[in-house]
Structure 1
């Protein structure tokens, strides 16, 4: 006990305790990092071969805009931290590789080298750079498991300002636009919510939970199948189109009425 007491009173004892505590914290942190990183890589499709193939494809087709290390350039943003979900959305919808620069990158037919395997590999490579949202699983996007009624409430509260109540899309400012959702797959809809492409805000899990996202997907896919019992759908764009058609039809009817009235007066005279 005397030796222990003497050691505790030594001037360097407090520094030894501090160093021991820092070493312990470092070991605990390293253990957690080693567990989480492999898990994250595995969920991202994360095989070493996939990442290597993705790196090769990225260097050949993407690095001219996004940089050799995906750090971004004057013509393309950084991809560090965007995740595999962003890659899958942008490439599967034909937005990437981009054509001519503009206010917004439109969808277009996929080039021959882009297929599911290429998208998966590039997604694995980008995921390995800094994590980020991952491609959702089947249960997360299965519309059959969602509640379309609740999804409709969420969609009307968060999305119709840009996408229209039926997902028909619409114009935004500075040449941008909200795209039509009728051709988007459930996976692409989910990915758009978690990555916020172009002018769209990000709806992370703290804003809209995965269950609520699935409900919204159920609503969007259900609306596509609805018919228009009132007559022509007019693209379901909304009151602007309906008002324009009503105005044109109304003016045309008035012109016909004026011609008919004038013709009758001439016959009487």
Structure 2
């Protein structure tokens, strides 16, 4: 007779079944990941749409300001007229400089546009700059990290003497040019306007693009100018920092005047 042996199942054998809790956890993780990704995408899209809408609104506001205040001279399409040049391709930096320093709108024709209190607010000036920038490529408003005055002052002073001092004076006090024109003083000028002047070349100033002076070089020049402005002269009264002309005039008026007055006084007493 044959005996039939019935084998009992082994203890600890893996049946291949997953716990219901593991399935629930996987579903929850998938939903959480999908929801988070959708929320991040929606936020990014909404921010981009808001930024685009704000930029479009700013440009539209700039166009309205331009049509009302600038188009009579520069043309409705910025093409220029006999009274004023074209603004196509001048860039946002040129508009920010000219309007922000009050040189534009021009009050009257002359050898050059003088600086005066600005007619527009900072927001309006930025709107005008953005509108003009849409008509063609040009220099943009510089980044803030180039305007803090934390560059190499020694290098900036050397570059200023080489490229700028012949018009603006070695101390940045300004100077006279031909035909009633002049290089304005650079003391008290906002760094952003100094930078924008270098990249746009307003009035009689040449353009210093990045091939002539790198952005770091321009930062160093601003650093040198601010260092000179903030540190008093060690030689006493600077007399406007206008150099030997001012010093000679001082000697003639006060020195020679004192001698003449003393001579008259001595003569009067002897008589």
- TM interval, short-chain normalised: 0.7 to 0.9
TM-superposed CA distance for 1:260, in Å, is 4.8
Q: 1:56 aligns with which of 64, 77, 81?
A: 64
Work out the CA distance in 2 between the residues paired with 1:157 and 1:96. Answer: 30
How high is the TM-score relative to the length of structure 2? 0.77
Paired position in structure 2 for 1:262: 267
> What corresponds to 1:78 in structure 2?
86
Corresponding residue of 2:131: 125
User: What's 1:101 paired with?
Assistant: 109
Instruction: Note the C-alpha offset of 1:46.
Output: 9.0
User: Would you say 1:242 and 2:247 are equivalent positions?
Assistant: yes
2:207 corresponds to: 202
Quote the offset at 1:261 in angstroms: 4.3
Corresponding residue of 1:143: 149
**1:110 to partner: Cα distance:** 2.0
Higher-Rg structure is 2
Preserved contact between residue 46 and residue 128 of structure 1 (Cα < 8 Å)? no
Unaligned runs of 5+ in 2: 1-52
Q: Deviations over 1:145-193 (max 9, x none)?
A: x111110000011111111111111111011110111121111000000
Q: Give secondary structure in 2 for the equivalent of 1:104.
A: coil
Comparing both structures, which one devotes a greater share of its residues to helix?
1
Q: Is it true that 1:166 corresponds to 2:171 in the alignment?
A: yes
Q: Is the 1:164–1:237 contact (alpha carbons within 8 Å) kept by the matching residues of 2?
A: yes
Q: How far apart in 2 are the matches of 1:58 and 1:252?
A: 55
Shift of 1:236: 1.1
The match for 1:65 is 73
Report how many residues are paired.
Answer: 219
